A and B are shown apart, each in its own frame.
Chain A
Amino acid sequence: MNTMDIKPAILVEGLGKSFTLHNQGAAHVPVFEGIDLAVRPGECVVLAGASGMGKSTMLRMIYGNYLPSTGSVKVLHDGAYLDLTGAAPHVTLDVRRRTMGYVSQFLRVIPRIPTLMLVMEPLLENGVAEDEARDRAERILAMLNLPRNLWALPPATFSGGEQQRVNIARVMVRDYPILLLDEPTASLDAANRETVLALMTMARDAGTAMVGIFHDEVARNAVATRFFDVTPHRCAA
């Protein structure tokens, strides 16, 4: 099937961002402008461009974490396009709960909660019964080679790679139609990187629309269906 016939899951139109730092003499920091991008189910668009070009900024804007200065981000949610720009907080939260997952580089969770519980949480929030949630959480943690004796522990004391896999498990335990990936393999060793990439390729082939940042070339080439270079959109400082 020609992927161009499928409706995009993400529509970025005329997107621009600049930061105003009020406590530093109202310094105005333009990042990029005029970005258009459509991402269809089954595509993995990898953002390209040197550090500081605004790749993470763009990803965070798609997630509704940063506010666009201009333009809009629309996502296919419950079969219709929803403009996240200026959406009420509960609407954005609903999109995140059911449609759009985000793997960040950092694990940010309430301290002292056991790993297994953290991974079950996104399922419980979506009304999955506790037994099934536990089952699915255990399966994904096993798949990601997180040692079973760590499951009952909070991840605060885990290594960087272990924390990152908890982070990935929390997102991949669900089947989100849209996945945003900010360096998901950055702190993983080769074997674990392979597992994570296999998971992501599987999700992509099952029809997930993905946008990612991968500095690691092997990872990038393994999952990307195309590249999007943000450099031409960079604002002249």
Chain B
Amino acid sequence: MTIHAPLAPTPLMQVRDLNKNFGPVRACRDVSFDLRRGEILGIVGESGSGKTTLLRCISGQTAPSSGEVLFDSQRHGLRDIFALSEQERRRIAREEWGYVHQNPRDGLRMRVSGGANVVEPLLMNNVRHYGRMRTQSLDWFAKVELDGARVDGKPRTFSGGMQQRLQIARNLIHNPSLIFMDEPTGGLDVSVQARLLDLMRVLVREMGLAAIIVTHDIGVARLLADRLLVMKSGEVVEQGLTDQVLDDPQHGYTQLLVSSVLQI
């Protein structure tokens, strides 16, 4: 009998034994995982489980107390992002990553127009075809289902759901290979959430990008993520295929988390 051995291209990101302590508090303990290109990883767990701290560490915003975050960068190849200089790390974040905040106000510039918000990452990456900028912002307005007539409006005149879609456009326009999302549907009405979920799923599929999504919403995780990490008190207590983790949870904490979801 031949046993199938699928080719394993190098992962896009490898997190190795990551620890993050805040004084005596161990916010992340010995977290390790790989992320493949095009894969959507969900990180679930209740408030205080360390999932946002983990996201901040692997996206280069907070240095871990120990451990490695290896990223296969176009510019540097496979490197520990914390072994790079601050400047190099910021450059990777700007050129090859996106970061969608829970609150769009944290990810948008509220004083400039929606269109300018969308194309700004191109300017920061020294793409300067001013003539095409407007076409590009309109293109992205259409992709995230925003009315092109609002392209000159300030983000504060947009609804929460529109702001979140604007933030997503801003984070995808430079064609990143990895996007981080912290509770991307957190502050939205359920009806707006569904549309955003669908949009994110389609964009991620079309662009073939990898995503790491932190959420406490099991429903969001089920619909978006290929794979889940379940965190409790800073530790990954369970990981695996999304529907397997949610339908046949092995760890007591995951069982509790899944059984606490309201059914409608």
The answer on a CB contact under 8 Å between B241 and A64 is: yes
Closest to A94 in B: B6
The answer on a CB contact under 8 Å between A90 and B247 is: no
Q: How far is the CA of A60 from the CA of B248 in the complex (A)?
A: 10
The answer on a CB contact under 8 Å between A65 and B252 is: no
Interface flag for A52 (CB, 8 Å): no
Task: Choose from A66, A91, A110, A125 the contact partner of B223 (Cβ within 8 Å).
Answer: A110
- Flag the segment in A74-82, A137-145, A222-230 that touches B: A74-82
Task: Choose from B191, B222, B241 the contact partner of A93 (Cβ within 8 Å).
Answer: B241
The answer on a CB contact under 8 Å between B2 and A112 is: no
Interface flag for A1 (CB, 8 Å): no
Interface flag for A159 (CB, 8 Å): no
Task: Choose from B3, B201, B240, B259 the contact partner of A83 (Cβ within 8 Å).
Answer: B3
The answer on a CB contact under 8 Å between B247 and A110 is: no
Closest to B243 in A: A65
Interface flag for B125 (CB, 8 Å): no
Contact of A89 with B241 at beta-carbon distance under 8 Å, contacts A23-B255, A110-B223 already known: yes
Closest to A7 in B: B1
Q: Shortest beta-carbon distance, A111 to chain B, in Å?
A: 4
Q: Shortest beta-carbon distance, A78 to chain B, in Å?
A: 7
Contacts of A93 in B (CB 8 A): 226, 241
The answer on a CB contact under 8 Å between B3 and A81 is: yes
The answer on a CB contact under 8 Å between A67 and B250 is: yes
Interface flag for B197 (CB, 8 Å): yes
Q: Shortest beta-carbon distance, B184 to chain A, in Å?
A: 14
Closest to A68 in B: B248
Q: How many B residues have CB within 8 A of the partner chain? A: 31
Interface flag for A21 (CB, 8 Å): yes
Closest to B251 in A: A22
Task: Choose from A78, A112, A125 the contact partner of B195 (Cβ within 8 Å).
Answer: A112
Contacts of B243 in A (CB 8 A): 65
Closest to A93 in B: B226
The answer on a CB contact under 8 Å between A67 and B248 is: yes
Q: How far is the CA of A83 from the CA of B36 in the complex (A)?
A: 20
Task: Choose from A65, A90, A94, A112 the contact partner of B194 (Cβ within 8 Å).
Answer: A112
Q: Shortest beta-carbon distance, A234 to chain B, in Å?
A: 19
Interface flag for B10 (CB, 8 Å): no
Q: Shortest beta-carbon distance, B260 to chain A, in Å?
A: 10
Contacts of A78 in B (CB 8 A): 4
The answer on a CB contact under 8 Å between A81 and B1 is: yes
Task: Choose from B1, B36, B194, B247 the contact partner of A111 (Cβ within 8 Å).
Answer: B194
Q: How far is the CA of A22 from the CA of B250 in the complex (A)?
A: 9
The answer on a CB contact under 8 Å between A89 and B227 is: yes
Interface flag for A113 (CB, 8 Å): yes
The answer on a CB contact under 8 Å between B252 and A22 is: yes
The chain A residues found within 8 Å of chain B, CB to CB, are 19-23, 60, 64-67, 77-83, 89-94, 108, 110-113, 124-125
A to B CB contacts below 8 Å, 6 in the list: A22-B256, A23-B252, A66-B247, A67-B240, A83-B3, A112-B195
